[in-house]
Amino acid sequence: MTSVKIFIPQDAAALSVGADEVAALVQTQAETHNLPIEIIRNGSRGMLWLEPLVEVETPNGRIAYGPVGCEDVPSLFEEKFWEKHDHPLCHGLTEEIPFFKKQERLTFARCGLTDPLSLTDYRAYDGFNGLENALKMSPADVCQTVRDSGLRGRGGAGFPTGIKWQTVLGAESDVKYICCNADEGDSGTFADRMIMEGDPFSLIEGMAIAGYAVGAQEGYIYLRSEYPHAHRMLEKAIQIAYDNNWLGDNIQGADFSFSLEVRKGAGAYICGEETSMLESMEGKRGLVRAKPPIPALSGFFGKPTVINNVLSLTTVPIILAKGAAYYESFGIGRSRGTQPFQLSGNVKQGGLIEKAFGLTLRELIYDYGQGTRSGRDVRTVQVGGPLGAYLGDNQFDLALGYEEMSEGGALLGHGGVVIFDDSVDMAQQARFAFEFCTIESCGKCTPCRIGAQRGLETMDRVIAGDNVATNLDLLEDLCELMKDGSLCAMGGLTPLPVESAIQNFPNDFYSKTDCRS
């Protein structure tokens, strides 16, 4: 009898709700039932509300069970879950689950399908095809292909990746660097983590392609310290890549060498801002640098440096494997390709949804998310991290694209969508936006450093009902000052969640009883 293949993720989110314990129990139960099995610790499929998601391979495809707790494992075996599919936790074929079926998985094509550390799996699912193609092209053609694909930076600012690479390629220097921004500080986002844990070779491949395209031989991944599991996975994957000549000298016989190293952050949100990240990597306080010079010309230790987000870099391999036109055929307007959206907070079906740009927030919230976990009405969503706008129901039909969102007064950022039900107090959320800025400001410029503190105090007065109208006027001026006078988007965008909250939910502010009037 051939052994039954069972997939149980080793993604940090799955582990956070007991995937290791479930895997251990599945192993012992299989022994008790004399069932030969092979457990594969895959990445996550991104249907996080179903984690731990246990899949069993059948001739028709993988069948999903979830969320599986340790207490459910004996009954799975009693009901022979590998043959019969009528256990209450059974969801049928994984890829037929509507949340998954409607997605367009390009960047995350392999995530959850494979053993993240198996090079054989990686190759079997088209891994390294992109790098192989790139090595047959001229560096300039690789940059042009990325440019033609329309790929824009997924870290938040949406700058065209190909143009950035062309700038670095054109810069005269013996030494150049590729720095991957894996600081993923935005609340409500976890796509970088998921792909680093679930398909780490794709990041290695993307960075090697970037190195070849611009003439850089050294790469660094600046990883936030809150991700110890991703750190372990990356270290293992990098070692495997070195052992198999996908990193190191003369990669696969080509006249191209590339080294790669992980650098751990130290718990500072601002170090996700690219120049602050460079300072941090150089061993300094993470103070934001004034631009120019841009990092593409003067970056890590003053050398030309490509800085890209994890998702930008992990998308590059498929562009090189399938061509710019293929990738460019997805999306709307100037937002080409797909975006891994991350749905979280008070949501029934939270997780990762990779989909071509252009779907609406309403689809994300209700079709994919199925509304709130609490069962109450959705009141607001915050899109794009802690510096993103709070939107109300009348804005849920906005199309998710860079320009489309900014026309609606919002930003897409790193693609995080956090759902709140109707128990939320928007004045508290506005207060938090300032509080977060006081905690995480790098302190270099006054509008941000002092402004956030003043904003926090003013919001406290509004919440206490102290001269509400006057204080809200004051807040408006303060927000203008922060927007105009801050050096970076930390201070410059903190007003966005505040002002959008006031604008879309004025009652939460003006109804605070004014104790002095």
Partner 1 sequence: MTRFTEWSDLFAEHLHQKFKDKKGALLPFLHDIQDALGHIPPAAIDHICDSLNLSKAEVDGVISFYHDFKKEHDGRFSIKVCRAEACQSSGSEELVSHIQKRLTQDGTDTEFHIEAVYCLGNCALSPSVMMKEKLYGRVTPKRFDHLLTLERTPHA
Ligand X SMILES: Cc1cc2nc3c(=O)[nH]c(=O)nc-3n(C[C@H](O)[C@H](O)[C@H](O)COP(=O)(O)O)c2cc1C
**Contact footprint for ligand X (CB under 6 A):** 153-157, 159, 181, 183-185, 270, 272-274, 307-309, 312, 488-490
* Nearer CB in complex with ligand X: 58/446: 446
Q: 81-100: which residues touch ligand SF4 (CB under 6 A)?
A: none
Strand, helix or coil at 55? strand
For partner 1, the closer of residues 286 and 304 by Cβ is 286
Least Å distance, CB 448 to ligand SF4, is 3
Of the candidates 114, 133, 161, 441, which one interacts with ligand SF4 according to CB under 6 A? 441
CB 373 within 8 A of CB 485: no
Q: What angle do CA 494, 182, 204 make, to 5 degrees?
A: 155
Residue type, 343: L
Residue closer to ligand SF4 by CB (options 203, 442) is 442
CB–CB of 8/52 below 8 Å? yes
What is residue 50's three-state secondary structure?
helix
Strands of 305-309's sheet, edge to edge? 259-264, 218-223, 177-182, 305-309
What mask, x for binding partner 1 by CB under 8 A, covers residues 456 to 495?
----------------------------------------
Burial class for 24, CB neighbours closer than 10 Å (0-12, 13-18, 19+):
middle
Q: Which of 43, 198, 416, 451 binds partner 1 (CB under 8 A)?
A: 416
Q: How many CA atoms lie within 13 A of 166 on its CB side?
A: 13
Q: Could you give the CA distance from residue 327 to residue 319 in angstroms, rounded to a whole number?
A: 6
Helices (H) then strands (E): counts for the chain: 22, 16
Which of partner 1, ligand SF4, ligand FES, none does 12 bind, CB closer than 5 to 8 A by kind? partner 1
| 121 versus 279: smaller Cβ distance to ligand SF4 | 279
As measured in angstroms, the least distance from the Cβ of 340 to partner 1 is 13
Length of the chain: 517
DSSP bridge partners of 417 = 343, 383
**Neighbouring C-beta atoms of residue 155, cutoff 10 Å:** 25
Q: Which two tokens stand for residue 514?
A: 């004014």
Q: Which residue is nearest to ligand FES (CB)?
A: 187
Q: Which does 274 bind (CB under 5 to 8 A by kind): ligand SF4, ligand X, partner 1, none?
A: ligand X
Identify residues 408-447 at the interface with ligand FES (CB under 6 A): 446
Rounded least distance, CB 214 to partner 1, Å? 19
208, 251 contact by CB (below 8 A): yes
Closest to 152 (Cα-Cα) out of 415, 407, 486, 491: 415
The widest CA-to-CA distance across the chain, in whole angstroms, is: 82
Of 110, 202, 158, 146, nearest to 325 (Cα)? 146
Site string for ligand SF4, 443-462 (x = CB under 6 A): xxx--xx-------------
Residue 413 binding result from ligand FES, partner 1, ligand X, none, given CB thresholds of 5 to 8 Å by partner type: none
Compute the distance between CA of residue 195 and CA of residue 198 in angstroms, rounded to an integer. 5
Contact predicate 209/312, CB 8 Å: no
What the block records as the tokens of 389 is 């706008």
Asked if residue 447 has a cis previous peptide bond (ω within 30° of 0), the answer is no
**Which does residue 111 bind out of ligand X, ligand SF4, ligand FES, none, counting CB within 5 to 8 angstroms by kind?**
none
Q: Is 488 in the site for ligand SF4 (CB under 6 A)?
A: yes
Tell me whether residue 482 or residue 488 sits nearer to ligand X (CB atom).
488
Is residue 329 part of the contact set for ligand FES (CB under 6 A)? no
The site that binds ligand SF4 (CB under 6 A) totals a number of residues, namely 14
> What residues from 256 to 275 belong to the interface with ligand SF4 (CB under 6 A)?
270
φ, ψ of residue 234 in degrees (nearest 5): -65, -45
- Which of ligand X, ligand SF4, ligand FES, none binds 342 (CB below 5-8 Å, type-dependent)? none
- The least CB distance from residue 293 to ligand X, in Å, is 15
Near ligand SF4 by CB under 6 A: residue from 487, 493, 501, 502: 487
Report the first-to-last Cα separation within the chain, whole angstroms: 82
**What tokens does 363 get?**
């689809």
Which of residues 189 and 471 has its CB atom nearest to partner 1 in the complex?
Answer: 189
Q: Toward ligand FES, which CB reaches closer, 173 or 187? A: 187
Q: Using CB under 6 A, list all residues that contact ligand FES.
A: 187-188, 446
Q: Using CB under 8 A, list all residues that contact partner 1.
A: 12-13, 15-17, 48-49, 51, 184-190, 192-193, 225-229, 263-269, 280-286, 301, 342-347, 350-351, 373-374, 382, 386, 416, 418-421, 424, 429, 432, 436, 439-440
Q: Using CB under 6 A, list all residues that contact ligand SF4.
A: 270, 288, 441-445, 448-449, 486-488, 490-491
